[in-house]
A and B are shown apart, each in its own frame.
Chain A
Amino acid sequence: MSGGAAPLPWWIDYALLPLANLALALLVAGLLVLATGQSPLTAVAAMAQGAFGSGEAVGYTLYYATDMIFAGLAVAVAFHGGLFNIGVEGQAYISGLGVALVCLYLDALPVWLVAPLAVAAAALFGAGWAAVPAWLQARRGSHIVITTIMFNFIAYALMEWLIVNVLIKRGQMAPETRGFNGGGLLPGLDRFLPLAPTPLNPAFAVALACLLLVWLLIWHTRWGYALRVVGASPRAAVYAGIRPARLVIQAMLLSGALGGGIAFNEVMGAQHKLLIGFTGGYGFTGIAVALMGRNHPFGVLLAAVLFGALYQGGAELAFDMPSMSSDLVVAVQGLVILFTGGLGLMLRPAFVRAFGRS
């Protein structure tokens, strides 16, 4: 990739490049919409209106963005250690179990006590689920991509079995636990701030705190430096006296714990019960978020808000333009993921030529 790795001012890498990719994605998506005989401009306007047009819209966008921040950070942290964690989805799913157990059995306690416990449980369960693939990678060299993908399926099977057979509320058909009561209910942010009632909840604040902490950890601690060295070159790391195996395990544990934030936001913050498939694919979208955000917390934040807006705006699009099929909405979302994530570096050489400092 000639010029691909050349240094660029940070605002180009983290803001201008993603924006250009987004514009390209919307252009192609617009052609797709045009091909189905609809106006792309109306569609874009409806999506923007649906994502940011009202207090309610913003609330929903940020609520989805919360999931994306956790997922994006989880992928990003592992990525700095040269690890591709595709198992955030499964780690978050298992974290849901931890959150649900805390909320189901400790809901007699006040919420300010239950919430930190739920966060801890989410982090612990997520890290626990990441531990085995991490150990296998570090000590046995089993490729993390393969093991984390496989662990996703184990997580699905385990959680389905638990929810359908053990945790289900008796006498109902939907596979979900009973709704949480009392201390198990994380109040929405609209209870504290003058906002429209949405599922946006304090998990958003936790996500923002995680962004800051990850930034400090990766760029301002000895551990973060060591991790980046391992990610850039494990052999150089060994030469410098760093033990990669240990860092690999630690980074994966942290990644799994961050993924657990999705469970905190969804299970305790929004759904108030544990249900099948509450992770909704956010763990996988996190890969695109991290790619688009260039694994930097600030980039992850921007990308997370964009994907939150896509989710929310896409849902609203179905209401505003009933003739637009839901599959087309998914296709538009997919195009944005493709261009901003998969083809994220496509335009970079051109930017290097235009802005590069030699």
Chain B
Amino acid sequence: MRKILLFLPLVMFLALGGVFYSQLGKDVNYMPSALVGKSVPDFTLVSLFDDELVTNADLPSTPYLINFWGTWCPACHIEHPFLNRLAQSGITIIGIDHKDQQALALQWLEEKGNPYQQVLMDEIGHFGLDMGITGAPETFVVDSNGVVAYRHQGEINEQNWPTMKEYLQ
């Protein structure tokens, strides 16, 4: 019995080592979203193209993505072509132009193409805060019940799209 006790420090060392090892290489910016499992918060925003007021009632009833972007955001430049491809393959994307200027945003979509079914302006960033975003780009997957199923920080690309796609139903 005493001899077994002598191995206790070794066992604890190995257990701790295992815990630390499993944490290696994780994305340090990852943060769990408080919104997952909840419905999209109430909003009233102005649409980019026609200055119309848009509320939750105008959101699609099919699964869709909410993508936060801005012309000031370098990673959004990288992400944009991929969003165009997603839109071409029939994915509904609602764009939130986060803390941006209307003229710049219109010019950007003119030049790069518009993957969004709708673009809403979040000029002061309040809707972004309500959604709990940490920056741009950031994308939420909303299922057919209007519930946020998944949140992705950073750009969407070939590598992470398959994971997101799973939630889009």
A binds B: no
